[in-house]
Amino acid sequence: MGFEPIGVFEALSTRRGKRWCEFDPLRIRVSSGSFAVSTLESILLRVELGNPSCLDRARKTLFAHRHSLPMSLEKKTLESLRIDRSSQAKRSPLIWLLAVIAVVAAGVAAVGWQLNRPKPATVRTFVVRETTTAGQKTLLNASGYVTARREATVSSKVTGKVMEILIEEGMKVAENQILARLDSSNTKANLDLAQAQQAAAQSAIHETKVRFDEAHRELRRITDLAKEKIATQADLDRADAEVNSLKARLERQQVEVSVAERQVALWQQQMEDAVIRAPFAGVVTSKNAQPGEMISPISAGGGFTRTGICTLVDMDSLEVEIDVSESYINRVEANQPVEATLDAYADWKIPCKVIAIIPTADRQKATVKVRVGFEKLDPRILPQMGIKVAFQGSKEGEPAKGIVIPKGAVRSQDGQDIVFVMQNGRVERRAITLGSSGSADVTVAAGLTAGERVVLEGPENLTPGAAVEETKQ
């Protein structure tokens, strides 16, 4: 006969990669008083795939209705309801070991990340401030070159071979200091000859003087004898002629001695011309000749004759030459204050003034030359340096406001002037436009506002967005 025992059915499914089970009581209809073995085995097989607690419940339920099961059910099918505790015991230590290893690995990884994570860069910042500056108004900007008022290429008065050079580039020399010597061997020989001729002329004078004195005494004796009528008039005339002849010879020899002296002086001067001296005190800027070369005061053609020994510059005569356009020459006047800046020292402001305006114009360039003098000379100012000048107004202009930051905060990247601004513990790259600069500070025309904090000192490889921390001053 038929009856409806309570059985257990396992619904298996997969949720988020994990297996779970749910048992619902179902009615198993048994007709003809028997279970199909395949149906029961399917139920038990599905129950075994679940967890052990579900399997235990299924076994208890089926055991309570064991009388309803067919007698032909094999023993092995009933044994499949038994929970295998040994396999669980074997798997539990391995699972716990893996769990412990995973926890330890996670802890080690967390500690390593804490230790190795990048630390914020240490920087020193500066608070941007706005300053008010008052100065003279700039009327005109121009550029020119430093020139020397006294500059000379020192040469010789005569053509000759250079025997000795006593100067080098950069050497300071005094006025009349010997710079070089030329070959003077031929001049020295002519000088010796002239001196010998001078000595011979002087000896002839001494002889003539002796004979003149003797003739003069003879004339007096004959004159006395003529008065007593002892000597004749002819004897008197002959003695008188002898005296006059010796007197004329003496005068001629004195002139010859003078000529010999001048000849000696001439050759002495040529000897002196073989020595080249500095015409004024200054600095040697170039050395143009070497020993053994020929030098001439005029160009002899070719490349074997030099026209000068060196170039000498009086460093106390340095000034600035500016070519000012005719359109703006009305803004320039004598004694006008000027602020000059050398291209080599862009941060150095040099006080100057207008010396003179050259009263002529260059019609090809349409410019007028202006001479600007330095208020105080400095060894850093050198001839031929490029220089920029700003002609100032005679009255002070309106006070101007500007942002001033230290020069150390300005960096150059990709051809731009930038600064790093610190905000909320991180840095931001900011492009700026620079204005005038001083010895330690620079004016920012655009890119910053007062109150911002810019990085003054920090790592060279600082990047935008990097975390930073400020040092305590």
- 166-197 pLDDT per residue, tens: 999 999 999 999 999 999 889 899 998 988 98
d(CA 258, CA 248): 16
135 — pLDDT class (breaks 50, 70, 90): low
- The answer to whether the beta carbons of residues 322 and 372 sit under 8 Å apart is yes
Q: What is the dihedral of CA 5, 6, 12, 16, to 10 degrees?
A: 170
Query: Which pLDDT value is given to residue 38?
Result: 39
Least confident of 116-130, 200-214, 416-430: 116-130
Interval 2-15: pLDDT, tens: 333 333 333 333 33
Rounded to the nearest integer, the mean pLDDT of the chain is 75
Query: Which pLDDT value is given to residue 311?
Result: 92
- The answer to whether the beta carbons of residues 256 and 201 sit under 8 Å apart is yes
For Cα atoms 292, 297, 299, give the angle at the middle one, nearest 5 degrees: 90
Q: Which helix (H) or strand (E) holds 270?
A: helix 233-273
84 — pLDDT class (breaks 50, 70, 90): low
Phi/psi for 436 (5° steps) reads: -75, 155
Query: Which pLDDT value is given to residue 403?
Result: 76
Query: Which pLDDT value is given to residue 218?
Result: 80
350's tokens: 């040099």
Interval 414-428: pLDDT, tens: 777 888 887 877 878
Query: Which pLDDT value is given to residue 80?
Result: 52
Least confident of 34-48, 126-140, 261-275: 34-48
Query: Which pLDDT value is given to residue 119?
Result: 65
444 CB contacts (<8 Å, ≥6 apart)? 128, 402, 403, 404, 405, 432, 433, 434, 435
- The answer to whether the beta carbons of residues 259 and 272 sit under 8 Å apart is no
Mean pLDDT of 110-119: 59
- The answer to whether the beta carbons of residues 180 and 350 sit under 8 Å apart is no
Query: Which pLDDT value is given to residue 44?
Result: 45
Least confident of 132-136, 140-144, 232-236, 416-420: 132-136
Query: Which pLDDT value is given to residue 27?
Result: 37
Collapsed DSSP state (helix, strand, coil) of residue 96? helix
Q: What is the DSSP string of 341-371?
A: EETTEEEEEEEEEEEEEEEEEETTTTEEEEE
pLDDT above 70: residue 243: yes
User: Closest Cα to residue 130, out of 464, 450, 456?
Assistant: 450
Residue for token pair 């995973």: 102
Residue percentage of the chain with pLDDT more than 90: 23
Residue for token pair 């619904």: 11
Least confident of 234-243, 396-405, 456-465: 396-405
pLDDT above 60: residue 384: yes
Mean pLDDT of 229-252: 80
pLDDT above 90: residue 158: no
Query: Which pLDDT value is given to residue 205?
Result: 84
Query: Which pLDDT value is given to residue 208?
Result: 82
User: Closest Cα to residue 53, out of 85, 6, 27, 25?
Assistant: 85
d(CA 297, CA 2): 148
Q: Taking the complete model, does pTM exceed 0.85, yes or no?
A: no
Instruction: Say which residue, 469 or 27, is predicted with more confidence.
Output: 469
40 — pLDDT class (breaks 50, 70, 90): very low
Query: Which pLDDT value is given to residue 441?
Result: 75
Phi/psi for 52 (5° steps) reads: -60, -35
449 — pLDDT class (breaks 50, 70, 90): confident
Query: Which pLDDT value is given to residue 11?
Result: 35
| Helix spans in 121-232 (H) | 185-227
22 — pLDDT class (breaks 50, 70, 90): very low
Least confident of 45-59, 91-105, 318-332, 372-386: 45-59
111's tokens: 């500690």
